[in-house]
Amino acid sequence: MSRKPKKGYFVRGQFVAEGSELDLELKRELKGTDEASRTDLKRESDELQKLGTELLGLRAGLFDALPLDEKLVDAVAEAKRITNFEGKRRQMQFIGKLMRPLDPEPIREAINEQLNGSADLTLALHLAEQWRDKLIADDAALGEWLQEHPGTDSQQLRALVRQARKDAKPEKPGEAQRHGKAYREIFQLVRQAMAEGSGQGNEEPQDE
């Protein structure tokens, strides 16, 4: 009568019987690895949530210049509207998840720029914000902008302005205006054109 084979598995060519000292030792090692992995994931999640919280306080010019996914931008905007503590906590967890595939360095640099930024950059961002808002609010501003920055793709800028105006209309009466992707893209276009203009376009737009 043949003996019943022992239950077990092979590790690096060696048979490990279930319940043996070696089996228990390997399981302890595996458990330790799993716990370490969970600890690392928890630490990463906490860091991203903290970074997300700082992202909420980033001023518009720096925020708009970041290459963020539209879903993350919407999630940040929603988090700013939430006042309930538990709702805010869940939203920040969601923001942390959305930030996992992103390179966090540009966000950290923007936060550092807000804390320690130069006066020149602050002025440049402020002027870019002014131009963006004026282009959306006033048709005549497009002509002024193209005079100072003739290299601008006027067709693209017109399309972005039309879309930004459309996005800004509240879906329901009484709702606050929402700023969509086009709003941020106008800022990025203006900011880049000003940076490439070697001093051109650095004058504050005058209201009529």
Distance of CA 164 to the CA centre of its chain: 20
Categorize the per-residue pLDDT at 201 as very low, low, confident or very high, splitting at 50, 70 and 90.
very low
CATH topology of domain 118-208: Diphtheria Toxin Repressor; domain 2 (1.10.60)
Instruction: Name the region of 199 (left: φ>0; alpha: ψ -120 to 50; beta: rest).
Output: left
Categorize the per-residue pLDDT at 203 as very low, low, confident or very high, splitting at 50, 70 and 90.
very low
Instruction: Supply the CATH classification number for the domain 18-117.
Output: 1.10.60.30
> What pLDDT does 134 receive?
92
Q: Is it the case that residue 135 has pLDDT exceeding 90?
A: yes
Q: 44-48, 64-68, 96-100, 130-134 — which is least confidently predicted? A: 44-48
Q: Which among 160, 151, 155 is positioned nearest to 198, based on CA atoms? A: 151
> What pLDDT does 16 receive?
66
Q: What is the pLDDT of residues 77-125, one digit of tens each?
A: 888 888 888 888 888 888 888 888 888 888 888 888 887 766 777 788 8
Output DSSP code: residue 68: -
Mean of per-residue pLDDT scores for the chain: 78
The domain locations on the chain are 18-117, 118-208
Mean pLDDT of 161-168: 88
Instruction: Please report, rounded to a whole number, the percentage of residues in the chain having pLDDT higher than 90.
Output: 13
Burial of 38 (0-12, 13-18, 19+ CB in 10 A): exposed
Structure token pair of residue 51:
């970074």
> What pLDDT does 199 receive?
45
Report pTM: 0.49
Mean pLDDT of 196-203: 51
> What pLDDT does 202 receive?
42
Q: Do 18-117 and 118-208 share a fold?
A: yes
Helix, strand, coil fractions of the chain, as percent rounded to 5: 65, 5, 30
